[in-house]
Amino acid sequence: MISQLLAQFLKHIDSFLMTCLFFTLMIGLFVLYSASGQDLSRVYAQGVNIIVALSFMWVAANIAPNQLERIALPLYILGVLLLIAVELFGSISHGAQRWLNLGFTKIQPSEVMRIAMPMMLAWYFSKRDSKPVVTDFVVAGIFLLVPVALVMKQPDLGTSLLITASGFYVLFLAGLSWKLLVGGVVAFGASTPILWSMLHDYQRRRIEILFDPTQDPLGSGYHTIQAIIAIGSGGAAGKGWLNGTQAQLDFLPERTTDFIFAVFSEEFGLLGNLLLLGLFTLIILRGLVIASQAQSTFGRLLAGSISLTFFTYAFVNMGMVSGILPIVGVPLPLISYGGTSMVMLCLSLGILMSIQTHKKLVAT
């Protein structure tokens, strides 16, 4: 009886994805314990975040893809309206206006767009009866530009980058012409001076520091310099769990969130990094396999976007920590401390599971 109930409870959970997710989350808790200075309360709090996130994943996995398709447009409209509300009435904290105070709690609507954006574009292209034409991509580009512009204005460069990536991957998988793609790259290059003038001073400073962090070693370049030292000192096998000097001696800032990869690299070295990269790769590849086997255009585009956006999460975080990308405030997926990011990532993985397991049910 119990086994039947358990099987019913887990019937929409993809075992391969869940196994990879479990090991990645366990690694995250171990490195968080070290990065937080062996603060068990922080680990317990992350454990609660994980439980909540897995609950959202289970709910998403049990919602059929055709039901997700029905709510794509309403969710997108709600997300845009909430972003507009943030612009008009949002709470300001640390110079950024990103939160909406509902009285009993605060929400960050830009997080909603991480899921709503690829769902909206996947829904839009699934309604095209024939092969998408140029005008379809122009309309889709407008759908993408509106929330990205609103998030950029908050300002939140990291989230706007992730929303842009999630939307772009749908465009690419929908058949975006290489001519349009190259033309877009050329146009972006030509507009660089304009875009540069639109950036805030601290954002321009981050890009300048990328090329030479030593020009401000105790200021803007401090994060990058300390992270590079931590990664390099880890060597091949690392210094051992709880033995990383950069983290334990408090040299490394933001070590439980954006820069937790530097802590992991110092303590577990190249071998540990290869293990973590292997887990990330398996999650991404599994997502792409699910996308290739999806039974609908909506499922294929959404699964592909979720998988490649997960890659963007990991690449951007590791890139900024290792000094090859500017610091944009993107957490390391499933490892960094935080509830919102954890919930959104597990929710996305739950959608992947839904696309896979409901496909099996239909086939049988």
Which class for 29: exposed (0-12), middle (13-18), buried (19 or more C-beta within 10 A)?
middle
pLDDT tops 90 at residue 223: no
**13 against 103, higher pLDDT:** 13
Mean pLDDT of 242-252: 83
pTM of the predicted protein model: 0.90
Tens digits of per-residue pLDDT, 2-24?
Answer: 777 667 777 888 999 999 999 99
The tokens for 319 are 């890139």
Tens digits of per-residue pLDDT, 110-132?
Answer: 888 989 999 999 999 998 867 88
Mean pLDDT of 66-88: 91
Mean pLDDT of 212-234: 81
**55 against 3, higher pLDDT:** 55
Instruction: For residue 363, name the pLDDT band (cuts at 50, 70, 90).
Output: very low
pLDDT tops 80 at residue 361: no
Mean pLDDT of 254-260: 90
Residue 11 C-alpha from the chain's centroid = 26
CA 340 to CA 355: how far, in whole Å?
23
pLDDT tops 70 at residue 286: yes
Which class for 54: exposed (0-12), middle (13-18), buried (19 or more C-beta within 10 A)?
buried
